[in-house]
Structures are given as structure tokens and as C-alpha cells.
Amino acid sequence: MALEVKKLGVIGAGQMGLGIALVAAQKAGVPVTLVDNSQTSLDKGMKFADKLLEKDVSKSRITQEMAKETKSRLNPTTKMEDLSDVDFVIEAVPEIPDLKTSIFAQLAQICPPHTILATNTSSISITKLAAATTKDPTDTSVSSRVISTHFMNPVPVQKGVEIISGLQTSQSTVDAALELCKRMGKVPSISADSPGFLANRILMPYINEAIICLETGVGQKEDIDNIMKNGTNVPMGPLQLADFIGLDTCLAIMETLHQGLGDSKYRPAVLLRQMVDAGWLGKKSGKGFYDY
């Protein structure tokens, strides 16, 4: 029988972390401890939660009372120690390997012995993150509880979640992750712990090739996006999608694929690296392939 998650922890109050926390509070009815080292980020995240809930109320998806109950389940804090009573914690910080391994080392000390330690990483090895929880590789008491629940963006809209096990991950941990995702109204898919997993192994080379088409003059940005929207029925073209993901995130994932798989087909586009160097990161910076 899968572990029943009565209290969830989420680390990172950015777009992904806030989305995960909100869906868990709203759909699964679970109290969520939302941790971020920046009070400003927490305040911004909670305001965004209010905005999303108000939108749901205005469209009659939920009642005002339901919105109030959801908000009451979100408990923002800047203290990692407040995760000492959660059953399941999901880390959703930027794709910086050293930052993530540091967080997992801390969680191994802070969380109870039954707590499942999950990451929302889109590209970093789960086996490596699990190894960071112990100094003795033969002791899998903590590392067996490490897993990835990689939610698709934006979390309140997209139903997909990738469940990725490390070498150390136990079946009971997988079962608990699957059960929580289903409670949140998501449709989980299981992937092996391989660079990029399933989603980014397929998606990022597609985006990267679209950028190469732009930089080599095969097509203009509008034509590239339009042919994919109107030719393959995707809701957003690859360049616009890259802007929404964040070009720095796209570059980081392509570098992980290139390094991890050693195949030249995963080499990041020159234009992608140049745009990141320029600070043109997409929607979040106000400029990417398009202006926002």
C-alpha cells in the first residue's frame, strides 16, 4: 500500500513550485509547506496564487469558499526546518546541480525517516541526487526514497508528470509518487533515469533545431512557429515555446543532453547561447525570440 501523503512540502516559490503547491492544495486537498529563501519570492508567489484562484472563481470552476480553503492550505516560509513534519517533499529550484544536491543533503537531515524526497528536475540524474543524501553508498535508507516528479509547465493546466527512478529508488517510493500525482489530477508517465528523460529528450532537440533553422536562414521566426502550429496542431510554435520555458533553461538542458549523451546532435544552437549571453531569456526577461 502506497504511503498516504497527509502533508506536502515544496521547495521553490517560482512558477513551477507555486504551481505544484497550488494544485496539491486545490485538487488533492493537502496542506502544503512552501519554502523559499526569499521572502519576496514567497510574497510574489502567493499573489500569483490569489490571481489564479480568482480567475477560477470568475469562470465558475470553483466557488469563493473553495478558493479560500485552498489558500488556507498554503503555508509559506523561509525556513527549511519547517519541512520536519511532511510526508512528501518536492524540490522545484533552478536547474543548478550543486544547488539541488545541497538541498537533498539537507532534506536527508531534516525530514522524518518515512518522507519521500522528490525533485522536479527536467534533466539532472536522479541517481546522483539520491547519492547526495548519504555518505555511505551501501546505506539506502534515505536514497531509496528519492525520486523525480517532473511536472509539465504550466502545472495548473498541463496534466503530464514524468516519474523517474534512480538506481536506489524503491518500488514503494514509485507507488507513493504515482498515487500523489493521481490525487492531484495528473496523468503520470514513467521514464528511465537517462539524460533529459522522456519529455526533454524529445522536446529540446526539436526546439534547438527550430533555432538552428532561424539562425541559418531556413525560415523566419513567424514562419517556423506557424508551420508547426498549423501543420502539426501544437498549440504553440517551438520558438514561442522556448520563450515561455526560458532560453536559459533550454540552454541548460541542451548542455546536459550534450554532455550526458556525447552526441553532436544535442549540441546547443549558437544563437541560443548568444541570446542567453545577451540576457534575452524569453517571456520572463521581456525579450526572447519575441518581445513581451
Sign of the dihedral through C-alpha 39, 41, 47, 53: negative
User: Is residue 144 a known part of a binding site?
Assistant: no
User: Is residue 122 a known part of a binding site?
Assistant: yes
User: Is residue 15 a known part of a binding site?
Assistant: yes
The single-letter DSSP state of residue 291 is: B
Question: How far apart (Å, rounded) are the C-alpha atoms in residues 95 and 185?
Answer: 25
User: Is residue 65 a known part of a binding site?
Assistant: no
Q: Are 9 and 35 in contact (CB under 8 A)?
A: yes
Q: Are 25 and 73 in contact (CB under 8 A)?
A: yes
User: Is residue 27 a known part of a binding site?
Assistant: no
According to DSSP, the β-strands at 74-77 and 116-119 are unpaired
User: Is residue 14 a known part of a binding site?
Assistant: yes
Which phi-psi region, left, alpha or beta, contains residue 215 (left: φ > 0; alpha: ψ -120 to 50)? alpha
Could you list the active site residues? 122, 150, 162, 200
Question: How far apart (Å, rounded) are the C-alpha atoms in residues 24 and 26?
Answer: 6
What are the residues whose beta carbons fall under 8 Å from the beta carbon of 108, sequence distance 6 or more? 117, 132, 133, 134, 142
User: Is residue 255 a known part of a binding site?
Assistant: no
User: Is residue 91 a known part of a binding site?
Assistant: no
User: Is residue 12 a known part of a binding site?
Assistant: yes
Amino acid found at 241: L
User: Is residue 36 a known part of a binding site?
Assistant: yes
User: Is residue 274 a known part of a binding site?
Assistant: no
Q: How many Cβ atoms are within 10 Å of 256's Cβ, its own excluded?
A: 22
User: Is residue 231 a known part of a binding site?
Assistant: no
Query: Annotated binding residues for NAD(+), as ranges?
Result: 12-17, 36, 95, 100, 122, 153, 284
Query: Annotated binding residues, as ranges?
Result: 12-17, 36, 95, 100, 122, 153, 284
